[in-house]
Structures are given as structure tokens and as C-alpha cells.
């Protein structure tokens, strides 16, 4: 695969996040406002492109994980989509073209991160980034989740640009990626320490 000129990545700082849920709400309000008062029946939570996972670790300590489309470089959903509706754009983002989607849901079962949800009215397998956020980044603004975060725990930018804030964070902080052993090469980084 050719390396794209840009490599847009998401970054979530688990050490800064206060778990307020502002990013989750902002995502729905920006990308699927009609779903603001409706539940995603599978996850039994707000229909959002960001999934909130709460758990308790081995020491009995509560843990929080925010997951969204990882914009994998070797995305299984791109590999399985029969009609090319899910594909990479020039910036490395995994995009969904509604015009090419027949709603087979193969991408939903192909995503190891379980971050796609079926829109009950449009029949689309929704994911980050939605149309609202794509418009925002087209205008040179950060996506809604980054703008809404009161704790500055979220960031978004070009990893190929060494001056970008995400590049600086990735250089200086300890990060991890989810299910890295699957070889999907995700572009969603979780900051776990200094």
C-alpha cells in the first residue's frame, strides 16, 4: 500500500480524560443529531461513533476506554466491503460512501473494534468520521470530539507532519494501540503515561 501524503490520526489521552462523555455527545450532535434521544440497541447506549467502555480491572479499580473507528491502514472493513463503499481517502481516513452502500453489514462484522452501528432509518453502518466532522476538518477545524473535550484529552492531526501536536505527543508520551496483534495498523492512539 502506498503511504498517503497525510496520515490523520486520533489521539485519546486516558490519563487526562475525566469521563464526562462530552465527546460522545458532541459526536452524535454533529454527525447524527436525529439520534440524540435514541439508543443504539446493540450497545444499549447513545448512538454515537464513539463507544464508551467501562470496566473494572483485576485490582477492582474502575477503568474507562473510549473507542471509535481506528482508521486502520489495513482495515478489515475495506477488505470485505463488496462494492467499495468503504475505502481509504488520500489522508488515510477510512470513509463510507453512502451512494455505494447496499447495507449488507459485512463491515460491521468485519470490524474487530466493534465501532460501527446500524442507523435505524438510513440503514447505513455509521462510523467515525461522520459527515459533520468531515465538514469540520474540511474547514480546517478539529473534529467535534476534540473541540468538545474540556480536559484537552483528545487530539487529531497529521502524523506525517513532525510539527503537528499529535506527532509531538506520540514522540514524548507513552501510547498504545488497541488489538495491535491483529495487524490492522490502527491510527487511534491511547496515551497511557508520560
6 grid coordinates: 497525510
Decide whether 15 or 41 has the Cβ nearer to another protein. 41
Give dist(CA 21, CA 67) in Å, integer.
Answer: 12
Decide whether 62 or 150 has the Cβ nearer to another protein. 62
Decide whether 126 or 146 has the Cβ nearer to another protein. 126
**Burial of 174 per CB tally in 10 Å (0-12, 13-18, 19+):** exposed
Catalog residues that contact another protein under the rule CB under 8 A.
41-43, 51, 53-56, 63, 65, 67, 76, 78-85, 98-106, 108-114, 116-118, 122-124, 178-179, 182, 184
Give dist(CA 13, CA 181) in Å, integer.
Answer: 21
Give dist(CA 47, CA 37) in Å, integer.
Answer: 9
Give dist(CA 51, CA 68) in Å, integer.
Answer: 6
Decide whether 102 or 152 has the Cβ nearer to another protein. 102
| Residue 149 contacts residue 66 (beta carbons within 8 Å) | no
The CA-CA-CA angle for residues 125, 52, 148, to 5°, reads: 90
Least spacing, CB of residue 158 vs another protein, in Å: 26
Decide whether 43 or 169 has the Cβ nearer to another protein. 43
3-class secondary-structure state, position 76:
helix
Amino acid at each position: 500500500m502506498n503511504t498517503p501524503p497525510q496520515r490523520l490520526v486520533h489521539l485519546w489521552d486516558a490519563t487526562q480524560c475525566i469521563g464526562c462523555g462530552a465527546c460522545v455527545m458532541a459526536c452524535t450532535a454533529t454527525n447524527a443529531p436525529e439520534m440524540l434521544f435514541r439508543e443504539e440497541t446493540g450497545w444499549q447506549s447513545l448512538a454515537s461513533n464513539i463507544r464508551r467502555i467501562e470496566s473494572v480491572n483485576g485490582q477492582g479499580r474502575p477503568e474507562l476506554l473510549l473507542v471509535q473507528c481506528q482508521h486502520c491502514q489495513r482495515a478489515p472493513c475495506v477488505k470485505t466491503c463488496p462494492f467499495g463503499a468503504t475505502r481509504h481517502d488520500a489522508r488515510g481516513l477510512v470513509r463510507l460512501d453512502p451512494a455505494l452502500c447496499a447495507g449488507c453489514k459485512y463491515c460491521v462484522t468485519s470490524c474487530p473494534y466493534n465501532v460501527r452501528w446500524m442507523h435505524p432509518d438510513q440503514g447505513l453502518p455509521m462510523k467515525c468520521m461522520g459527515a459533520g466532522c468531515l465538514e469540520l476538518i474540511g474547514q480546517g477545524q478539529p473534529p467535534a470530539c476534540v473541540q468538545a473535550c474540556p480536559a484537552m484529552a483528545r487530539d487529531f492531526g497529521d502524523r506525517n507532519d513532525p510539527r503537528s501536536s499529535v506527532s509531538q505527543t506520540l514522540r514524548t508520551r507513552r501510547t498504545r494501540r488497541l488489538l495491535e496483534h491483529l495487524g490492522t495498523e490502527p491510527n487511534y492512539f491511547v496515551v497511557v503515561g508520560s
